[in-house]
Amino acid sequence: MHAKSLAIYQKYYGDPRHDRRSLFRVLAAHTAISTALYPGSFVHIVPSFFFPTTVYVDTDKHARRFFADPDLIAFIQVRKEYAHDPTVRFHAVSYLHPLPEPDQGVDMLISQFAGFVSQHCRRYLRIGGFLVANDSHGDASMAALDPSYTLLGACIEQDDVYRLQTSHLDHYFIPRRGEPATKEDLERTQRGIDYTHSADAYLFQRVA
Ligand SMILES: C[S@@+](CC[C@H](N)C(=O)[O-])C[C@H]1O[C@@H](n2cnc3c(N)ncnc32)[C@H](O)[C@@H]1O
């Protein structure tokens, strides 16, 4: 891989203990995902180690250069944990605008530190498919308010290893103080909520 691409990857995701691979490994083990969409991915290529086809979307110029690297597939080949050859597509556009991807074309939508992906990209996720979202920008809270999604699990990280908790889900999304946030509150603050119990990421299913 080109030295500049490798350097940017190493800078942000170079330590396998902190690249969230354990999260995607757990999700791959619990679901039959073959295609995923990752809006606001930057150069976080780790989902491709677990999902055979992943579509990445980012407006960042470093991401554009990274995904154009002719050695990217070889980089994934030696790290992937499935039998197929990997397929990667990258769109250097804003996910706020229509993407050149079919509606309901993917099994998983990935929302990590990149805004309200659950809302803007819901159409690309098949009904019955999965959303994994954290609450850093309030997207998990937004999905929890959205009747198109139902909560299936909480992804809990300890010592860089994630586990999926599927019981006692009614403990989540209960504000520590005050009234529950509305969609408008979340859009205004673009921040997660202080809950009585919180998880590192949440697994939802698209139901409508
Ligand atoms: C904080 S980084 C998170 C990167 C990666 N998701 C992760 O978890 O490590 C947010 C990324 O989202 C991208 N982003 C934010 N809004 C976007 C939009 N509307 N369309 C495409 N990319 C966007 C930014 O360019 C940036 O690379």
Q: What is the pLDDT of residues 66-115, one digit of tens each?
A: 999 999 999 999 999 999 999 999 999 999 999 999 999 999 999 999 99
Choose among 83, 66, 84: nearest CA to 75.
66
Atom of ligand 1 nearest to the CA of 57: 21
Q: What digits encode the pLDDT tens for the residues 29-77?
A: 999 899 999 999 999 999 999 999 999 999 999 999 999 999 999 999 9
Domain interval for residue 188: 3-206
- Residue 18's CATH number: 3.40.50.150
196 and 57 Cβ atoms separated by less than 8 Å = no
Q: How far is CA 122 from CA 42, 59, 75, 159, 161, in A?
A: 19, 19, 29, 32, 28
**Is the beta carbon of 95 within 6 A of some atom in ligand 1?**
yes
Q: How far apart are CA 48 and CA 107, in angstroms?
A: 14
Task: Specify the pTM.
Answer: 0.98
Give the total number of structural domains in the chain.
1
Residue 170, helix vs strand vs coil: helix
**Is the beta carbon of 57 within 6 A of some atom in ligand 1?**
yes
Q: Is 15 left (phi over 0), alpha (psi -120 to 50) or beta?
A: beta
Beta-strand relationship, 106-111 and 125-133: parallel
